[in-house]
Amino acid sequence: MVDYRIDRHSGVATYVQIVQQTKQALRLGLLAPGDKLPTAREVVEATAVNPNTVLKAYRELEREGLVEARRGLGTFVRRSLGAAPADSPLRAELEQWAARAREAGLEREDVAALFTAVLETHYPAPAHPQMQTQAQRHRTRTHHPAPHTTSQGDPS
Protein backbone atom coordinates (compact mmCIF):
# COMPACT_ATOMS: atom_id res chain seq x y z
CA MET A 1 0.00 0.00 0.00
CA VAL A 2 1.17 3.50 -0.73
CA ASP A 3 0.74 6.37 1.60
CA TYR A 4 0.87 9.53 -0.46
CA ARG A 5 2.40 12.61 1.07
CA ILE A 6 1.73 15.87 -0.67
CA ASP A 7 4.25 18.64 -0.27
CA ARG A 8 2.45 21.86 -1.09
CA HIS A 9 5.63 23.90 -1.29
CA SER A 10 7.69 21.63 -3.50
CA GLY A 11 6.64 23.40 -6.66
CA VAL A 12 5.86 20.02 -8.20
CA ALA A 13 2.26 19.63 -9.33
CA THR A 14 0.25 17.51 -6.94
CA TYR A 15 -0.71 14.89 -9.47
CA VAL A 16 2.93 14.56 -10.48
CA GLN A 17 3.80 13.93 -6.85
CA ILE A 18 1.29 11.11 -6.77
CA VAL A 19 2.71 9.63 -9.97
CA GLN A 20 6.25 9.89 -8.64
CA GLN A 21 5.42 8.38 -5.30
CA THR A 22 3.61 5.49 -6.94
CA LYS A 23 6.60 4.80 -9.14
CA GLN A 24 8.87 5.05 -6.13
CA ALA A 25 6.75 2.44 -4.38
CA LEU A 26 6.94 0.23 -7.46
CA ARG A 27 10.71 0.55 -7.58
CA LEU A 28 11.12 -0.19 -3.91
CA GLY A 29 8.83 -3.19 -4.15
CA LEU A 30 6.18 -1.70 -1.86
CA LEU A 31 3.73 -2.27 -4.70
CA ALA A 32 3.77 -5.43 -6.77
CA PRO A 33 1.72 -6.50 -9.81
CA GLY A 34 -1.83 -7.36 -8.80
CA ASP A 35 -1.82 -4.96 -5.87
CA LYS A 36 -4.70 -2.56 -5.64
CA LEU A 37 -4.02 1.15 -5.48
CA PRO A 38 -6.02 3.06 -2.88
CA THR A 39 -9.31 4.42 -4.21
CA ALA A 40 -9.53 8.08 -5.10
CA ARG A 41 -11.71 8.53 -2.06
CA GLU A 42 -9.14 6.98 0.25
CA VAL A 43 -6.39 9.13 -1.20
CA VAL A 44 -8.30 12.40 -1.01
CA GLU A 45 -9.49 11.72 2.52
CA ALA A 46 -5.90 11.26 3.60
CA THR A 47 -4.36 14.06 1.56
CA ALA A 48 -7.23 16.56 1.19
CA VAL A 49 -6.54 17.12 -2.48
CA ASN A 50 -9.10 17.38 -5.23
CA PRO A 51 -10.33 13.96 -6.40
CA ASN A 52 -9.72 14.85 -10.01
CA THR A 53 -6.05 15.31 -9.21
CA VAL A 54 -5.84 11.70 -8.04
CA LEU A 55 -7.79 10.43 -11.03
CA LYS A 56 -5.50 12.36 -13.31
CA ALA A 57 -2.43 10.78 -11.70
CA TYR A 58 -3.97 7.33 -12.03
CA ARG A 59 -4.76 7.99 -15.68
CA GLU A 60 -1.16 9.01 -16.21
CA LEU A 61 0.03 5.78 -14.60
CA GLU A 62 -2.43 3.84 -16.71
CA ARG A 63 -1.20 5.56 -19.85
CA GLU A 64 2.31 4.47 -18.99
CA GLY A 65 1.04 0.93 -18.64
CA LEU A 66 1.92 0.65 -14.98
CA VAL A 67 -1.59 0.19 -13.67
CA GLU A 68 -5.00 -0.70 -15.05
CA ALA A 69 -8.44 0.37 -13.95
CA ARG A 70 -10.96 -2.43 -13.59
CA ARG A 71 -14.46 -1.15 -13.69
CA GLY A 72 -16.16 -1.30 -10.34
CA LEU A 73 -13.15 -2.91 -8.69
CA GLY A 74 -10.44 -0.33 -8.55
CA THR A 75 -7.03 0.37 -9.99
CA PHE A 76 -4.48 -2.45 -9.99
CA VAL A 77 -0.74 -2.60 -10.57
CA ARG A 78 0.14 -4.26 -13.88
CA ARG A 79 3.89 -4.33 -13.73
CA SER A 80 6.60 -3.26 -11.40
CA LEU A 81 9.51 -0.92 -12.00
CA GLY A 82 12.39 -3.15 -11.10
CA ALA A 83 14.87 -2.25 -13.85
CA ALA A 84 17.41 -0.71 -11.52
CA PRO A 85 17.54 -2.53 -8.23
CA ALA A 86 19.55 -0.99 -5.48
CA ASP A 87 22.51 -3.31 -5.87
CA SER A 88 22.87 -3.25 -9.68
CA PRO A 89 26.25 -2.50 -11.26
CA LEU A 90 24.75 0.61 -12.86
CA ARG A 91 24.14 2.05 -9.47
CA ALA A 92 27.69 1.32 -8.38
CA GLU A 93 28.98 3.17 -11.44
CA LEU A 94 26.78 6.12 -10.71
CA GLU A 95 27.97 6.12 -7.11
CA GLN A 96 31.55 6.28 -8.26
CA TRP A 97 30.74 9.05 -10.70
CA ALA A 98 28.98 11.08 -8.01
CA ALA A 99 31.95 10.68 -5.69
CA ARG A 100 34.28 11.95 -8.41
CA ALA A 101 32.01 14.90 -9.11
CA ARG A 102 32.08 15.82 -5.47
CA GLU A 103 35.86 15.61 -5.37
CA ALA A 104 35.93 17.87 -8.42
CA GLY A 105 34.15 20.48 -6.31
CA LEU A 106 30.73 20.30 -7.97
CA GLU A 107 27.80 21.51 -5.88
CA ARG A 108 24.67 19.44 -5.48
CA GLU A 109 22.78 21.67 -7.94
CA ASP A 110 25.61 21.42 -10.46
CA VAL A 111 25.43 17.66 -10.36
CA ALA A 112 21.66 17.69 -10.69
CA ALA A 113 21.82 20.04 -13.68
CA LEU A 114 24.48 17.95 -15.33
CA PHE A 115 22.54 14.77 -14.74
CA THR A 116 19.33 16.26 -16.06
CA ALA A 117 21.11 17.51 -19.16
CA VAL A 118 22.51 14.05 -19.90
CA LEU A 119 19.12 12.54 -19.17
CA GLU A 120 17.50 14.90 -21.66
CA THR A 121 19.99 13.85 -24.32
CA HIS A 122 19.43 10.15 -23.89
CA TYR A 123 15.74 10.16 -23.04
CA PRO A 124 14.55 12.98 -25.22
CA ALA A 125 10.75 12.61 -25.41
CA PRO A 126 9.29 14.57 -22.50
CA ALA A 127 6.52 12.04 -22.03
CA HIS A 128 7.25 11.93 -18.36
CA PRO A 129 5.30 14.70 -16.78
CA GLN A 130 7.82 15.26 -14.02
CA MET A 131 10.27 16.42 -16.65
CA GLN A 132 8.03 19.16 -17.89
CA THR A 133 8.48 22.78 -17.12
CA GLN A 134 5.89 24.69 -15.21
CA ALA A 135 4.45 26.22 -18.34
CA GLN A 136 4.19 22.94 -20.17
CA ARG A 137 2.59 21.41 -17.18
CA HIS A 138 -0.29 23.79 -17.21
CA ARG A 139 -0.79 23.37 -20.89
CA THR A 140 -1.01 19.64 -20.37
CA ARG A 141 -3.50 20.02 -17.57
CA THR A 142 -5.89 21.84 -19.81
CA HIS A 143 -6.11 18.81 -22.02
CA HIS A 144 -8.17 17.15 -19.33
CA PRO A 145 -11.02 19.53 -19.02
CA ALA A 146 -13.64 17.14 -17.78
CA PRO A 147 -12.34 14.41 -15.57
CA HIS A 148 -15.42 14.83 -13.46
CA THR A 149 -17.60 12.27 -15.07
CA THR A 150 -15.35 9.50 -13.89
CA SER A 151 -15.42 10.65 -10.32
CA GLN A 152 -19.05 9.63 -10.12
CA GLY A 153 -18.25 6.02 -10.68
CA ASP A 154 -15.33 5.74 -8.37
CA PRO A 155 -15.72 2.58 -6.37
CA SER A 156 -15.18 3.07 -2.72
Q: Does 137 bind other proteins (CB under 8 A)?
A: yes
Which residues within the stretch 46-105 sit at the binding site for other proteins (CB under 8 A)? 46-54
Q: How far is the CB of 53 from other proteins (least distance, A)?
A: 7
* 18 closest CA partner among 51, 53, 45: 53
Name 148's Cβ contacts closer than 8 Å, sequence gap at least 6: 52
Looking at residue 67, the DSSP 8-state letter turns out to be E
Q: How far is the CB of 133 from other proteins (least distance, A)?
A: 9
Burial track 15-43 (b if 16+ CB lie within 10 A, e otherwise): bbbbbbbbbebbbeeebeeebebbbbeeb
Identify which of residues 53 and 80 has a Cβ nearer to other proteins in the complex: 53
Identify which of residues 18 and 61 has a Cβ nearer to other proteins in the complex: 18
Q: How far is the CB of 152 from other proteins (least distance, A)?
A: 4
Which residues within the stretch 15-44 sit at the binding site for other proteins (CB under 8 A)? 39-42, 44
